[in-house]
Structure 1
């Protein structure tokens, strides 16, 4: 009998045991001038100019917002070069030659607790905007826009579920810096006037639940609780995490803020703490290299670090005679990239390298596994057929835009059909 697939192997236990390498020695750092949310951008420095850590060196421009680009090392601006970003797009990057001194820019000034206590909502919004904070769970949505809501907010949700296989960035953050997460959560609560905070993590991680609860003992004056949620996939999906952790059901297509709750990724909240307390932009991210085609290693690196450097530090590829498949992100929702000439960005936390197995697609056997497993009740095969026919009206009828691109339809398909790719194509057809 065909049933809904909810539990998938995640491969995290082995990766969590890897020693963490704090890599600061990249000789050159590369900063994309554009990204998926910001198709335009410009620089505000010239070749030969010396820049410092945290200094604004350019601006990315989206449809309704702008995002500053910050240097994550000190050194000399030496040029531009085309590189791949986390989405697999080739983008123009500004290059800074690292002088290994890590001199802080004059704008990086710590705030006292008394000064923070006096901050208004407008202050928090401006701090998040100037620091260029975005959703670090992968959305890259500007944090300041979320904080600037006009709705009455009752709960701030810190989403630490991280349900995608092979990803351990949020887990490592919460284990290493639980107090920074908690303080960032408190700042978010103060910014929007929310009386309650909730931290959602997988219930299988008993050690993480206990560590967070122990850390919360120092903040008993705040109404914050750790809520263990399900271990299934995609439990980390925003709307499912909200319902599991708070019992608030937000219909798909509606804003959580309209229901009195704002969700943030836990890494985003840590970045808010750094911005408020030290006036720092996001400088570093956890990054793991995994898969059977490469030596596995876990890093903490400066944003702008070439991933080729990390592969070399990890020990290189395994068996060069076998072709490799490279995936930026997780195996379910990540992006396939054509080579390793990639740089780390705000939302890049993983590279998976697999020894390629060439699997031919077989015809659909109409088993309905994809239908049973879809968390938003779509009909993936029907959508695939509509994509092949380029039938816009049928794609609208089938509500392809509801797809959250979780990858389950491709994962469960016994015919090895890349259904998630068809979902993405369907969305592009409707946008075109």
Structure 2
């Protein structure tokens, strides 16, 4: 009997035991001038110019927002050049040669607690905007836009579920720097007038619960609790997290703010703390190399570091005679990249290296495993067939835009059909037809 799949192997047990290697000494740092969210951009520096840590070196531009680009080291601008990004797009990069002095720009300074307490909501939003903070759960959505709502916010949920397999960035952050998360949550609650904060983690992460609850003893004046949610996948999907953490059911397609809730990734909250307290943009990220094609290693590295540098530090690839599959992000929602010559960005936390295994896609056997397991209750195979027939109306009727691209349909398919990729292509097809 075909059953709904909710529990999947997460591959995190050994990764969580690995030490963290601090690699902040990259010789060259690379900063993309454009991204998928910001298709336009410009720099405000010239070759040969000296820059400092935290200095604005450019601006990315989208249809309704702009995002500053900050240097993560001090040094000299040595080039503006085109390079391929992780998706294979040829885009502009600005390159800084590290001088290893790590001089802070004058805009980076510590605020007193009194100054922080006197910040208005408008001040808070402006700081978050100026620091270029984005959602670090993977969305890269500008954080300041979430806080710009005029809705009354009663509860802020810190999402520390991290349900994607092989990702341990949020886990390590909460274990090692719980106060960053808590203070970022407190600052956010103060700015929004929220009376309640909830840190959502997986129920099985008892060690995190102990660390966070011990740290919370230092903040008795705030109504913050740690809540365990399900160990299933995708329990980190924001609507699922909100429902299981605080019991609020939000229909898909509606903003959580309309229901008095803001949900923010724990890593995002940590960056908010640093932005508010120290006027500091995101400078570094936790990054994991994992998989059977490489020695598994955890790093702390500066944004702008080449992943190939970390591969070299890890000792290179294992079984070099076997072709490799490279996945940026997790195995369920991540994307393939054809080269490790890509850059750690604000949202890059992992590369999985797998020895390539040949397999063949087989015809659908109509088992309905994908339908049973889909968290948003759509019909992946029917959508795939509509796409193959170029049926835009059919795709709309089948609600393909409800797909959250969690990857479960591909994971459970006995015929090894790349159903998630068909979902992505279907949504892209509808966008193109709409244009």
- TM (norm. structure 2) is 0.98
* Contact 1:295 1:318 (8 Å CA) reproduced: yes
In structure 2, distance between residues paired with 1:217 and 1:46: 49
* Contact 1:87 1:328 (8 Å CA) reproduced: no
In structure 1, distance between residues paired with 2:127 and 2:25: 29
Structure 1 position 264 matched with structure 2 position 295: no
Shift of 1:91: 2.5
Structure 1 position 396 matched with structure 2 position 396: yes
SS in 2 for 1:132: coil
In structure 2, distance between residues paired with 1:130 and 1:372: 44
- Give the structure 2 partner of residue 243 of structure 1: 243
* Contact 1:324 1:355 (8 Å CA) reproduced: yes
- Give the structure 2 partner of residue 365 of structure 1: 365
Q: Kindly provide the CA deviation profile for residues 265-319 of structure 1, in whole angstroms up to 9, marking residues without a partner as x.
A: 0000000000000000000110000001111100000000000000000111011
- Give the structure 1 partner of residue 335 of structure 2: 335
Shift of 1:88: 5.0
C-alpha change, 1:86 and 1:279, in structure 2 (3 Å) is farther
Which consecutive unaligned segments of at least 5 residues does structure 2 have?
Answer: none
Structure 1 position 128 matched with structure 2 position 150: no
Shift of 1:24: 1.0
What does 1:27-426 align with in structure 2 at a 5 Å threshold? 27-426=27-426
Which consecutive unaligned segments of at least 5 residues does structure 1 have?
Answer: none
* Contact 1:371 1:377 (8 Å CA) reproduced: yes
Q: Kindly provide the CA deviation profile for residues 84-134 of structure 1, in whole angstroms up to 9, marking residues without a partner as x.
A: 445554422110000010000000011000111100000000000000000
Shift of 1:81: 3.1
In structure 1, distance between residues paired with 2:276 and 2:400: 39
Shift of 1:339: 1.0
- Give the structure 1 partner of residue 16 of structure 2: 16
Shift of 1:147: 1.0
* Contact 1:306 1:341 (8 Å CA) reproduced: yes
Paired positions, count: 432
SS in 2 for 1:13: coil
SS in 2 for 1:82: strand
SS in 1 for 2:6: coil
